[in-house]
Structures are given as C-alpha cells and as structure tokens.
Amino acid sequence: MEALLAQLKQEHGIALQRHVPLAEHTTFRIGGNAAYWAEIVDEEMLRILVQSCTRAGRPFFVLGRGSNVLAADTGYDGLILHIGDGFSEVKTDGCSLTCQAGASLARVSGIAAQAGLSGMEGLSGIPGTIGGALFMNAGAYGYEMCDIVTSCRYMDADGNVYTAEKEALSLSYRHSRFMEEPGIILSVTVELHPGEPQQIADEMSALLARRSEKQPLNFPSAGSTFKRPAGSYASLLIDQCGLRGRRAGGAQVSEKHAGFVVNTGGATCADVLALCQTVQQEVREKTGYVLELEPVLLGVEPE
C-alpha cells in the first residue's frame, strides 16, 4: 500500500488521508477508523483511485453522508471514496435536474422548489446524498426516488463510465441494481413537474415537521433500522413484541419510534448488532415475520 500511496502522490498529486474516524462521518456516530480516505472532487480523481485499487487488489467503499451505514468498531481496512459536497453540482434544464452524486437531497429539493418544480417534497428531509438515495431507492411519505429518476451515470471498478436509463436500474423498495452489480453513481437525472413554489415549500415544511414529530431526531441513528416486511410494518411488529425501549449497551430501540435503533451515547457497532439480533429473533418467534436490516454494514465481518 505504501508504494501505491507514493505513486498516487507523485504521479497524480493525490494525497490520501489516513486513520479517519468513521464515527465522525456516519449519522449513527459509530465506527472505528478508515485506513485511507479520499475526498472526491472530480471524475478523473475517482477514476485514478478506482483503477489503482482494482489493479492493486485493495478494497474501496463509496460513502455519501453515511446516513444509512453501520460501520464496524474495528473500522475499515480499505479506502473510503467520500462523495459529498466536493462533487455536488446541480444543473437545471426545464423540468429536469442533473445532480452530481454528492449533492444532498435537502439541497436538490431546495433548488427544485425555488425553480417551481414539484416531485421531491417528501424526499427533502432524508439526510443523504442523491447518489446514496438512488443506491437505496430512498423514499418517504409517498415519494420515492424511482418515481423521479430518469437516468444516471456510473463508473465500474475498472474506471469505465456508463449511462443507465431508469429501466436498467432495477429499482424497487429499498433496492437498486447497484446492490448486486457494484457501480459508483456519478450523477443522477430526475424529471419533475411544474408547481407553485410557495405550495411546494409549504408541503416540504409540513413533511419536515411530521418527521421531527414522529422520529427520534435528537439521537444519532441510521433512520429506519429494518426494512418494511411485506404485509406489515417493522415498528408495529417491534411494538407488538414489547421491544420498545429495549437496550444493548448504548443502543436502544427508540422510545419515540420503535422502528429506529438509536445511539443513546457510546453505543458500539456490536451493541447495535446484538440489539438487532434480539429484535429479529423475538419478532420472528412471536409473529413469524422476518425483519431485514436496512443500513449497509461497513467493515463488519460476516459471522
């Protein structure tokens, strides 16, 4: 790795950061250090890093705002490609917005609202990037990424860039093709429809208020901890099993919303996983429903 670092610096002027605490870059505030970290500013930088890792057989992980990631206490022994504010240009063309992957949903929704474009109101309170939102097919309050995306550009592990139309993205509930066929989302194009700016802003404010009324936003978390099982709701099942408030170390099933596991202070990844296992086991035994984790695990060794 030292030779690779020296080569990146000498040939491309890219200096990687080292030992970066993942707890500072995930909304759960959990995780040890990432061995290497790159703040992505353009596609060329991304291509060089991805190709270098692939050739050297070194692992990399794409991180947006870290709002749907649970990082291991031991950290990640690879390179984090952080796609955030440095890669977040948004271009408007009629009713269409083309956004670099690091643009936050809050910012993109704000730009849309100002331009009198409707269709993202319910997505504005989701604390992620548009790249992360496409990866997860994020959604809330009847709004979902799959309803507005028309295409995206992405890069494969060899640095090749492709455009994929929506039909090729296999978007369904909290699922995209990138979960099976790795690809780094570079930009996302969404198609919205004309609306009245004040009405759009009012709808956004109302949905943001609903969010803070229902969700435990005063504690770090990764949002909903479990996917919605077909035919029921995770929070309802967890409540029915009397698990609201259940703890493991610093992790707790939120008292405010049973669908959230929160970090009440000092929770470790091991605490969260132990609590999730208890919840999954009790819900399965008592109701027959299987709850699947929604957050993506980073650096966690499979059991």
Name the burial class of residue 273, with classes exposed (0-12), middle (13-18) and buried (19+) by CB atoms within 10 angstroms of its CB.
Answer: buried
Q: Please report whether residue 259 would count as binding ligand FAD according to CB under 6 A.
A: no
Q: Please report whether residue 223 would count as binding ligand FAD according to CB under 6 A.
A: yes
Q: Please report whether residue 299 would count as binding ligand FAD according to CB under 6 A.
A: no
Instruction: Give me the catalytic one of 151, 176, 224, 254.
Output: 224
Q: Please report whether residue 103 would count as binding ligand FAD according to CB under 6 A.
A: no
Q: Please report whether residue 283 would count as binding ligand FAD according to CB under 6 A.
A: no
Complex with ligand FAD: residue 111 or 284, whichever CB lies closer = 111
Nearest-approach distance from CB 130 to ligand FAD, in angstroms: 8
Contact 124, 212 (CB under 8 A): no
For residue 109, indicate whether it is catalytic. no
From the list 2, 4, 89, 107, the residue with the least C-alpha distance to 43 is 89
Q: Please report whether residue 129 would count as binding ligand FAD according to CB under 6 A.
A: yes
From the list 23, 28, 27, the residue with the least C-alpha distance to 275 is 28
For residue 52, indicate whether it is catalytic. no
Q: Rounded to whole angstroms, how far apart are CA atoms 59 and 43?
A: 19
Instruction: Give me the catalytic one of 174, 187, 203, 254.
Output: 174
Nearest-approach distance from CB 111 to ligand FAD, in angstroms: 17
Q: Please report whether residue 79 would count as binding ligand FAD according to CB under 6 A.
A: no
Q: Please report whether residue 273 would count as binding ligand FAD according to CB under 6 A.
A: no
Instruction: By CB under 6 A, name the one of 20, 27, 99, 261 that touches ligand FAD.
Output: 27
Q: How many CB atoms lie within 10 A of CB 160?
A: 12
Give me the amino acid identity at 57.
G
Q: Please report whether residue 70 would count as binding ligand FAD according to CB under 6 A.
A: no
Q: Please report whether residue 225 would count as binding ligand FAD according to CB under 6 A.
A: no
Nearest-approach distance from CB 133 to ligand FAD, in angstroms: 4
Instruction: By CB under 6 A, name the one of 97, 112, 185, 275 that touches ligand FAD.
Output: 185
Q: Please report whether residue 62 would count as binding ligand FAD according to CB under 6 A.
A: yes
Q: Rounded to whole angstroms, how far apart are CA atoms 192 and 203?
A: 15
The DSSP output letter for 134 is H
Nearest-approach distance from CB 10 to ligand FAD, in angstroms: 28
Q: Please report whether residue 252 would count as binding ligand FAD according to CB under 6 A.
A: no
Element containing residue 5 per DSSP (H, E): helix 2-12
Q: Please report whether residue 178 would count as binding ligand FAD according to CB under 6 A.
A: yes
Q: Which tokens is 118 given?
A: 């409707």
Q: How many CB atoms lie within 10 A of CB 197?
A: 14
For residue 244, indicate whether it is catalytic. no
Positions of E strands within the chain: 17-21, 33-39, 60-63, 69-71, 76-82, 90-93, 96-100, 117-118, 139-140, 143-144, 149-155, 161-165, 184-191, 193-194, 221-224, 247-248, 251-253, 260-263, 296-298
Judged by the rule CB under 6 A, the positions of this chain that interact with ligand FAD are 27, 61-69, 83, 101, 126-129, 131-133, 135-136, 138-140, 178, 184-185, 215, 217, 221-223, 296
Catalytically active residues, by annotation: 174, 224, 294
